[in-house]
Amino acid sequence: MNEKHLLGLLFVLPLLVGAYFLNEGLFHYDAIVLAQAVEQSFETGSVHPAVNGRYGAVVLTAIVYLPFWLAGKNADVAVRFASVLFYALSIPAAFLFVRKLFGNVRTGVYAALLFASAPVYSSPNTFGKEHGMALFFVFLSFYFLLKGLQDKVPRYLVYSAVVLVASHAVREATLYFLPLYGFLAVCLRSRLSVRDRVLAVVIPYVAGFMVLYFAYFDAVIAKTLFPAQAGTAYLLPRQELRALALLSLRQSTPVLLALAGGFGVVVGVWKKSLPTMFMAAWLLSSFAFFANISTFAARYLDVFVFALCVLAAVALAGIPSKYAWAGHMVVAYLCVSSLWMIVPVLSARSDYNGQVRVGEWIAAHTPDNAVIITQDDAPFVSYYGKRKVLGPPRGELSKSVEFVRLVSALIVNKTPVFLTVSGLFDDPDDINKNLFPRYFDFVSNKTILSEDFHNAEIRQQRYYQIIWKLGVRSNASQTKPVQRLSVPFHSN
């Protein structure tokens, strides 16, 4: 099979899998915000930011959205399809990178197929996340870097630097790759002098990065360096985060893949292979970085799992050619095993997205002027339910009292107000669970099966969403506190 056909096959296979298991709707806070940013960009004619800016993701998704916009549709399907599309594109890009790094087609094919089937990577790319988009640019950047160095073509180094900057614009976490990228740029053997390669890479990279920095990246970096200003903190030496990361790996990684990856490291050290030791450094550093982020989710480990897949591919590709069929069988088994782990989750969500169903029920059964009290699923209520949302205070009694006054005023002024049970999930000291029943009557309720999107890439986290209509209690200040609200939770 020639390379063009091979690249096409590596693109089509994950595209078909991703399209078949495409989520019924968007299933993450970031994905909803991205869809809203794309739609607002078309409405206003200027590019709007997604979470942490991510203007690159907005622009690329907007290109995919164009035919949907012309047809009068929202960006829901476009965001999900763009996620699957770039997931599929990232697989041949990964092949090009690995094949160029190791000089071995079989290693590249094995690594690409193993990574395509990895649950922590395939799952989030079915519901609108931009991981595939970011890694497509990362892999392409490393491929151009290697091509420029090995073939002594400086323009490919320029392409590499520009594409790496583009990856930052898609997802800021790709800044992690800078040390690895710099190591290859300086240490890999090349007929280009160190001076020439540094100039060819540094000048375009710095120029591109400065454009990002002065456009919006200064604020992103400030949030990264000073985590007190943001909800995410990096490089936290917390054992519970690492324990969660290891648990996620155990639940989503075949044991044989881990063993093959470990054997690949042994082979690389024995042969003193710089590419293999480079991937081992990638493996260890990615776990140290992404497993110590305060907002850890299983999808953060996609970079780690990629390195593991490459190292496993190194071991399996080392099987002598006359026994190559054995390597093919092991790779096929690992791909099927990985998909077997995640297919039940993907299949369930392709048929039923609880967040979408709740939003659609709200749109159909609440007045247009209704206000919905909820927390992290507010974007889903806004996007699918088309209703205004209020977020209750968390852990501050004085603010909760003020919030009760605000809600009471809305109800007195004939604004329908509804409370979701998920609006009480994050309630330190049960302040709101105790306070709300004292001042509000729960006039009616509806129960709908929903699902928590937090850290849900490799498991289902279903719960029963209860939606209450609120009324102001008469003589609330003289009323004794009633029993606090219970919050049912159903996990599958």
pLDDT in tens, 206-240: 999 999 999 999 888 777 655 544 455 555 566 78
- Whole-number pLDDT of residue 475: 67
For residues 422 and 420, give the distance between their C-alpha atoms in angstroms, rounded to a whole number.
Answer: 5
- Same domain as 409, residue 268: no
Name which of 388, 382, 392 is nearest 359 in CA terms.
382
The residue out of 311, 327, 351 marking a domain boundary is 351
Residue 79 shares a structural domain with residue 189: yes
- Answer whether residue 487 is part of any domain: no
Last residue of a domain, one of 285, 317, 351: 351
Closest CA to 397 of 370, 422, 434, 343: 434
- Evaluate whether residue 486 is within a structural domain: no
Tokens 């450094």 correspond to: 281
- Please give the structure tokens belonging to residue 173: 């976490």
CA pair distance 41, 130, nearest whole angstrom: 18
The answer to whether position 53 is within a domain reads yes
pLDDT for 295: 81
Tokens 């400030």 map to which residue?
222
Same domain (yes/no): 131, 11: yes
What are the pLDDT digits (tens) for 22-61? 999 999 999 999 999 999 999 999 999 999 999 999 999 9
| pLDDT of the residue at 479 | 46
Range of the domain at 369: 354-478
Cβ atoms of 68 and 89 closer than 8 Å: no
Q: Choose one of 323, 351, 379: the last residue of a domain.
A: 351
Residues 447 and 333 in one domain: no
Instruction: Tell me what pLDDT residue 49 has.
Output: 95
Same domain (yes/no): 313, 399: no
Instruction: Please give the model's pTM, rounded to 2 decimal places.
Output: 0.92
Name beta bridge partners: 65: none
> By three-state DSSP, how is residue 342 classified?
helix
In this structure, the answer to whether residues 323 and 370 fall within a common structural domain is: no
Cα(28)–Cα(377) distance, rounded to whole angstroms? 9
Whether 491 is covered by a domain: the verdict is: no
99 and 161 co-located in one domain:
yes
Q: What is the largest CA-CA distance in the chain?
A: 86
C-alpha neighbours within 13 Å on the C-beta side of residue 13: 18
Residue 474 is predicted with a pLDDT of 77
- Are 279 and 135 part of one and the same domain? yes
Which of 403, 399, 457, 452 lies closest to 425, judged by CA? 452
Separation between Cα atoms, residue 331 and residue 343, nearest integer Å: 18
Of 467, 373, 465, nearest to 423 (Cα)? 373
Check residue 198 and give its pLDDT: 84
Give the C-alpha distances (Å, rounded to integers) separating 35 from 18, 73, 81. 19, 12, 12
Report CA-CA distances (Å) from 111 to 160, 244, 442. 21, 25, 55
Within-domain flag for 81:
yes
Please tell me the predicted confidence (pLDDT) of residue 149. Answer: 92
Same domain for 364 and 244, yes or no, is no
**Pair 112, 62: CB distance under 8 Å:** no
* Number of independent structural domains in the chain: 2
Residue found by looking up tokens 């988009």 in the block: 133
Which residue shows structure tokens 């799952």? 123
Q: What is the pLDDT along the chain (492 residues), one digit of tens a residue?
A: 788 999 999 999 999 999 999 999 999 999 999 999 999 999 999 999 999 999 999 999 999 999 999 999 999 999 999 999 999 999 999 999 999 999 999 999 999 999 999 999 999 999 999 999 999 999 999 999 999 999 989 999 999 999 999 999 999 999 999 999 999 998 888 888 888 888 899 999 999 999 999 999 988 877 765 554 445 555 556 678 788 899 999 999 999 999 999 999 998 888 888 999 999 999 999 999 998 887 889 999 999 999 999 999 999 999 988 899 999 999 999 999 999 999 999 999 999 999 999 999 999 999 999 999 999 999 999 999 999 999 999 989 999 999 999 999 999 999 999 999 999 999 999 999 999 999 999 987 899 999 999 889 999 999 999 999 999 987 655 444 444 455 554 443
- Residues 128 and 181 placed together within one structural domain of the fold: yes
Nearest CA to 385 out of 398, 400, 401, 374 is that of: 374
Residues 358, 346, single domain; the answer is no
340 and 360 inside one domain: no
* Complete edge-to-edge strand list for the sheet that includes strand 417-420: 388-390, 371-373, 417-420, 462-472, 440-451
Let me know if residue 485 belongs to a domain. Answer: no
Please report whether residue 492 resides in a domain.
no
Is 62 inside a domain boundary? yes
In the block, tokens 């009480």 appear at 424
User: Strand 417-420 and strand 462-472: pairing?
Assistant: antiparallel
